[in-house]
Chain A
Amino acid sequence: MAHFTKANSVGEWFDQRLATTKFMKVMMTEYWIPKDVNFLWAMGVVLAVTFKILIISGIFLMMYYKPDVNLAFDSVNYTIMQEVAYGWLFRHMHAVAASVVFLIIYIHMLTGIYYGSYKKGREMIWISGMLLFVTFSAAGFSGYMLPWGQMSYWAAMVITNLFGGVPLIGDALVVWIRGDFNVADATLTRFFMLHVFLLPIVIIGIIALHFYSLRVPHVNNQEGADIDFDAEAEKYLAGNKKDSKVIPFWPVFLSKDFAVLGVFLIFYFYLVFFHYGFAMDPINFDPADNMVTPPHIYPEWYFLWSYEVLRGFFFDIAGIKAFDLGLAAFGVANVIFFLLPFIDRDPEVLPAHRRPRFNIWFWILIVDLLVLTVYGKLPPTGVNAWVGFFASVTFLVLFIALPFVTKADAKARGAL
């Protein structure tokens, strides 16, 4: 057993037992971040705060929500929205945060892609981040079912149906996921369990992994510069703060995060109070009715691009059914971002503006995602269907082209 002397303060008492001073250094005051970063580097902290808002508002909602097909709609729209003191506030905060969190995730992801922050030792940061994207998507989808409105019901119907396309076991899989032949009470209660228990636990675990995966390769910077963190940290600690290329997480990096957070929270709470319709679809204020299909069924905005890839293939090609083609493309779309570190063949970490061909590739990707997102909501008829088809094909071609594009950049620079 270690030798303990009498502590002179509460702080010291804890320090003896939990090494709090050392812990603060490792996690905060001597956790080094590059100085050459812009506000996009604050998105991690913005995401952490948004997730915290989701957890806290979700806990309050769970005190009154009833996961039963006969009670769910009124427990949300009457009990929580009208009877419980500030219940409406928690619901608005939860719904808007669930939507805005995806906006920030996309900004965070595209920042990583633009600055090449997914390779050369940073692969696990990227992969754990993509795992978070997938688990957040599952949480978003399962949560959307809970108010048991028309869109909850029909989105659940359409999405669970997709699993029917899995070869051999498809039909059985759909029944297994729903817990019934139809989307019904069993479906609601199991998605409730996923939404409030299993997925949050898994997400918290992956967040820990995501943070940890940053420790060894360190955070990237605006120019992709290779920084000797030990040497720069020594400079900083010696008092040469202006010359050092690094800053400590606390207080320097976080002070900037808080400033960005201040702006973000104004934006977020403006949406919560005055502009929440985009996150709470009007159609979902009609109670679920399995006899009436809404004229337009569409997912929330953050799923639209992949939904459009799914339905972009609207005609059979070479004897393969349109449904199967779409499902295969949808599968590729959801997996391909995981593979980004391995299909980028440029060995150097550089921002897109220093990789001319990749830069063009990046902006085409942005435009393509925009087109897919907008057309993912429109009725897939006439010219819309063809726009969706070509945008889906473009999406797939972009990723087939990526290894060649990145290799050409590296060759032109003389890096290969």
Chain B
Amino acid sequence: MRELKVFAVVVIVTLITYWGVEPFAHSQMHPHVDAPDYSYSDVDGLKGIVGNAEAGAELVAANCTACHSIESQGFPKIMDNATAAASYGVVPPDLGSAGKLYDANYLAAFIKDPVTASKLAHVYTGEKAHPMPAYNWMSDEEIANIVAYLQSIAPAEMSNKEVFTNACSRCHGIKYADMMGGSMAAQTPKADIKAYMGKLPPDLSQYIKSRGENYLHEFINDPQKHLHGTAMPRVGLTKASEDQVVAYMTEVGDSKKAERNSTGLNVLAYLVIFAIFAWLWKAKIWREVH
């Protein structure tokens, strides 16, 4: 009985220490932020208008393909990545998957006014212009038509890697995905992206470890919440796309997760058996001396 009391004291003091240095300390150092808002309720979006994809096709051909490729629809890249980056500051995205990756309301708001939708008014203050002009001269119907077209051409299924490459790789590298070949470096050359963003966007190989799943979701959904004043735009990913991005970062940054979990259960099962035998042996030996 006395031994159990001693054990209880040790456990309690250990748990208080753990609580103090981990959950409590982290709650003090990392203030709570609101949960991600995947409906992008603050943006000036579609306003319920259902667009016409055919009409949108014409608008896109006339307004977007001068800078953006849509390779799946026969609009090839006009320049290679380095030249595009030198011209625009950053490589413009191919629009073939935009209708799937990005929330429709957000997409409408972004076309209308990229700076406001991406929450970068503090970066593009006037001296520096966003590489994509605002299309606020278009009517809401026209913008809805563009969104409808982008949605109509988007693939139904994309791999985690494709989602990551389309949504993140223009600025961010994730070198652990291809350490030898180097194919997962950022598409925009380092010097250009550094000039464009003000600093080099970090390689994301270990971000699943350094930031954790929760933080990544909160951050990607709205970077300003955790890092006020950052030059990273709010990109407007749907929840499904964001899940795929985080899943890809886990595949790359924590590739042994499944092995860890299954090995862990086996090792613990073995140790429970070891502990049982150890206690039985101890009881047998001590019966002789007590």
* Interface residues in chain A, defined as those with a beta carbon under 8 Å from any beta carbon in chain B: 35, 38-40, 74, 77-78, 81-82, 88-89, 92, 103, 107, 241-242, 244, 247, 251-252, 255-256, 258-259, 261-263, 265-266, 269-270, 272-274, 277-278, 280, 282-286, 295-296, 301, 304, 366, 370, 373-374, 377-379
Give chain A residues whose Cβ lies under 8 Å from the Cβ of B6.
38-40
Residue with the greatest number of chain B CB neighbours at <10 A, chosen from A244, A252, A295: A252
Name B29's contact: one of A89, A103, A273, A379 (CB within 8 Å): A379
Q: Are B286 and A252 in contact (CB-based, < 8 A)?
A: yes
Query: What is the bound-complex CA distance between A282 and B209, given in angstroms?
Result: 6
Give chain B residues whose Cβ lies under 8 Å from the Cβ of A38.
2-3, 6
Give chain B residues whose Cβ lies under 8 Å from the Cβ of A269.
264, 267-268, 271
Interface with A: B9-17, B65-73, B128-136, which one? B9-17
Query: What is the bound-complex CA distance between A306 and B177, given in angstroms?
Result: 41
Q: Are B278 and A259 in contact (CB-based, < 8 A)?
A: yes
Query: What is the bound-complex CA distance between A286 and B17, given in angstroms?
Result: 26
Can you list 10 pairs linking A and B with CB atoms under 8 Å apart? A38-B2, A88-B256, A89-B263, A242-B290, A252-B289, A256-B282, A262-B274, A263-B275, A304-B21, A370-B20
* Interface residues in chain B, defined as those with a beta carbon under 8 Å from any beta carbon in chain A: 2-3, 6-7, 10, 13-14, 16-18, 20-22, 24-25, 28-29, 176, 179, 202, 205-207, 209-212, 255-256, 259-261, 263-265, 267-268, 271-272, 274-279, 281-282, 285-286, 288-290
Give chain B residues whose Cβ lies under 8 Å from the Cβ of A296.
29
Name B267's contact: one of A241, A273, A277, A280 (CB within 8 Å): A273
Give chain A residues whose Cβ lies under 8 Å from the Cβ of B207.
285
CB-based A-B contact count at 8 angstroms: 132
Q: Are A258 and B268 in contact (CB-based, < 8 A)?
A: no
Q: Are A282 and B7 in contact (CB-based, < 8 A)?
A: no
Q: Are B264 and A272 in contact (CB-based, < 8 A)?
A: yes
Give chain A residues whose Cβ lies under 8 Å from the Cβ of B261.
273-274
Q: Are A374 and B20 in contact (CB-based, < 8 A)?
A: yes
Query: What is the bound-complex CA distance between A59 and B179, given in angstroms?
Result: 25
Q: Are A266 and B282 in contact (CB-based, < 8 A)?
A: no
CB distance from B226 to the nearest CB of A (A): 11
Given the contacts A39-B7, A241-B288, A263-B275, A282 and B210 also touching, CB distance less than 8 Å: yes
Q: Are A273 and B263 in contact (CB-based, < 8 A)?
A: yes
Give chain B residues whose Cβ lies under 8 Å from the Cβ of A277.
22
Q: Are B289 and A373 in contact (CB-based, < 8 A)?
A: no
Query: What is the bound-complex CA distance between A94 and B259, given in angstroms?
Result: 18
A interface SS class? helix
Query: What is the bound-complex CA distance between A266 and B289, given in angstroms?
Result: 28
Q: Are A283 and B20 in contact (CB-based, < 8 A)?
A: no
Residue with the greatest number of chain B CB neighbours at <10 A, chosen from A39, A273, A274: A273
- Name B6's closest neighbour in chain A (CB-CB): A38
Query: What is the bound-complex CA distance between A274 and B265, given in angstroms?
Result: 10
Q: Are B25 and A262 in contact (CB-based, < 8 A)?
A: no
Query: What is the bound-complex CA distance between A258 and B28, given in angstroms?
Result: 40
Name A255's contact: one of B14, B272, B282 (CB within 8 Å): B282
Q: Are B275 and A374 in contact (CB-based, < 8 A)?
A: no
- Name A40's closest neighbour in chain B (CB-CB): B6
Give chain B residues whose Cβ lies under 8 Å from the Cβ of A258.
278, 281-282
